[in-house]
Amino acid sequence: MGNQTQIKQISILNYFLFGCFLVFLGLISYNSGQNGIKNSFNIIGVAFLALGFSHIIRAVVKRVGNKPNVKVVVSLQNAMINLLFGLTILSLRRVDVFIFSFICAIYILFIGMTKLTGYILYKGSEDKFNFVNLIFYFIYTICGIGLLFAPNYYVDYLVKVIAVWLILYGISYWSYCINELITSDQKDSVKRKIRLPLPVFIAAIVPDIVLNNINKFFELRSPDAKINQTKIIGRPDLEVLIHLSPKGFNRMGHVDIAYKGEIIAYGNYDESSSRFFDMVGDGVLFFADKRKYVPLAIKASQKTLVSFGLKLNKNQKQAFERKLDEIKNSLYEWTPDSSKTANYSSKLKSQAKAKFFKFKKGKFKNYFVLGTNCVLLADQLIGVAGLDIVKINGIITPGSYYDCLNQEFYSRNNLVVSRKIYR
């Protein structure tokens, strides 16, 4: 227990210092304008060069240590890529403002398109505030087009917005530290905590980074090694399973819930309704036997599953079950096409005894990978237990949820009490 307490204290200090860094960076960036962008590009370029040289050093160390030639070649390839990026960034000083503005404009327009897609998908639902999606679509589109065609005029305002976001993100780290220092009684009175998610473009690659780190861990140890970390004695009441995969869209991750030995999963499981590269389709919820589901999920898509165990009190369990019953009341049973035995839904039905359902009404009737996705449904269920992410951009990804759960695991709060790897 002494080591666990020490780890937590170090974690609090790290979060406080990182929060200070973000707030400081936001304050000095607020009025920096185009000069701030140029300096940032120089720092990024130097960072890529440093990373490239570090890969060269790794390649030399591996060569001296008689490591397989494949690993040496991979290190050299990474070195060349990073050095090329670094030199390219440092040589583009005249167009750095344009590149920055262009990337930000595309990102803003992308968020705007997700708002428009959400508005179209939820138009027939009972969501009274769906019109807000349309309003934000116009706001994002106007800002994106303005930044795209008049970067010199709008870029200073953009830098101020980013600076304010950095300050708010830094303050959210301070609030985490304060929450760690207050007593359990005081903590119980706070039902919902404000958690700013990672930016979408960062959160999207978090599952891939985590998977690479897990693979490196097992490379240095036996493939049969186990990762099962716990903060308390006993089993958790609920598990959140984060799926990690090296393949296609699966690289962005997926989220399931396990409760009382049963998997609760939401996604685009009706292939006949899938469109726009499987990003949109009918929302499907299924329930399956956890013991049979986990091996199937790992085998079918070469996945690694990270499980976060949650310990719930009586009130939290009741709130979770009430929310689950509320969702169940809006379902009707759906059966996958049994003739297509190769698809994932059929495998789930035959091998994991999964029962599938679609939604009669509501926002989950239509699945949208950047809106009503697996994470949003999990957040609807678990949010009633006190684990909640505020959507500042309308998108919650598995990467954001992993970051939230991992942060909660290292906290003194006994909500997330275990972390386990299935592979």
pLDDT of residue 224: 56
Residue 9 has what pLDDT? 46
pTM of the model: 0.73
Mean pLDDT of 45-64: 82
Give the model's confidence band at 251: pLDDT under 50 very low, under 70 low, under 90 confident, else very high: confident
Q: Report pLDDT digits (tens) over 374-389.
A: 988 998 888 876 665 5
pLDDT-derived band of residue 66, with 50, 70 and 90 as boundaries?
Answer: low
Q: How many helices (H) and strands (E) does the chain have?
A: 14, 11
The tens digit of pLDDT for each residue in 154-188 reads 778 888 888 888 888 888 778 777 766 664 544 44
Order of all β-strands in the sheet with 304-310:
228-230, 416-422, 304-310, 238-244, 254-259, 262-267, 284-289, 355-359, 331-334
In 172-190, which positions are buried (b, 16+ CB within 10 angstroms) versus exposed (e)? bbbbbbebbeeeeeebeee
- 231 phi/psi in degrees, rounded to 5: -105, -15
Mean pLDDT calculated for residue range 186-199? 52
For residues 237-246, average pLDDT = 89
Report for 224-238, 307-321, 336-350: range of highest mean pLDDT:
307-321
Q: Name the phi and psi angles at 30, rounded to 5.
A: -55, -45
CB 390 within 8 A of CB 197: yes
pLDDT score, position 228: 73
Residue with token string 């962008």: 37
Q: Give the pLDDT score at 223.
A: 56
Higher pLDDT, 302 or 116: 116
Residue with tokens 């600076």: 163
pLDDT at 216 over 70: no
DSSP code at position 275: B
Tokens of 81: 């890529």
Q: How far apart are CA 397 and CA 376, in angstroms?
A: 8
- Kindly indicate the confidence band of residue 68, based on its pLDDT and cuts at 50, 70 and 90: low
Q: Count CB neighbours of 411 within 10 A.
A: 20
Among 6-20, 188-202, 231-245, 276-290, which is the least confidently predicted range?
Answer: 188-202
Looking at per-residue pLDDT, the higher value among 386 and 422 belongs to 422
Write down the pLDDT at residue 342: 60
Q: Using CA atoms, how far apart are residues 106 and 144, in angstroms rounded to an integer?
A: 7
pLDDT at 322: 92
What is the sign of the dihedral through the CA atoms of 101, 105, 108 and 114? negative
More confident residue, 392 or 100: 100
Instruction: Tell me the C-alpha distance between 423 and 214, whole Å.
Output: 10
151 or 208: whose pLDDT is higher?
A: 151
pLDDT band at 289 (very low <50, low <70, confident <90, very high): very high
12 phi, psi to nearest 5 deg: -60, -45
Mean of per-residue pLDDT scores for the chain: 79
Q: How far is CA 175 from CA 14, 199, 240, 345, 387, in A?
A: 13, 19, 24, 42, 15
Report CA 126 to chain centroid distance, whole Å: 28
pLDDT at 300: 78
Q: Give strand pairing partners of 311.
A: none
Q: Which residues lie closer than 8 Å to 86 by C-beta, 6 or more apart?
A: 45, 46, 47, 48, 49, 51, 52
Range with lowest mean pLDDT among 207-221, 247-261, 392-406 = 207-221
Cα→Cα distances 200→51, 241, 393, Å: 24, 20, 8
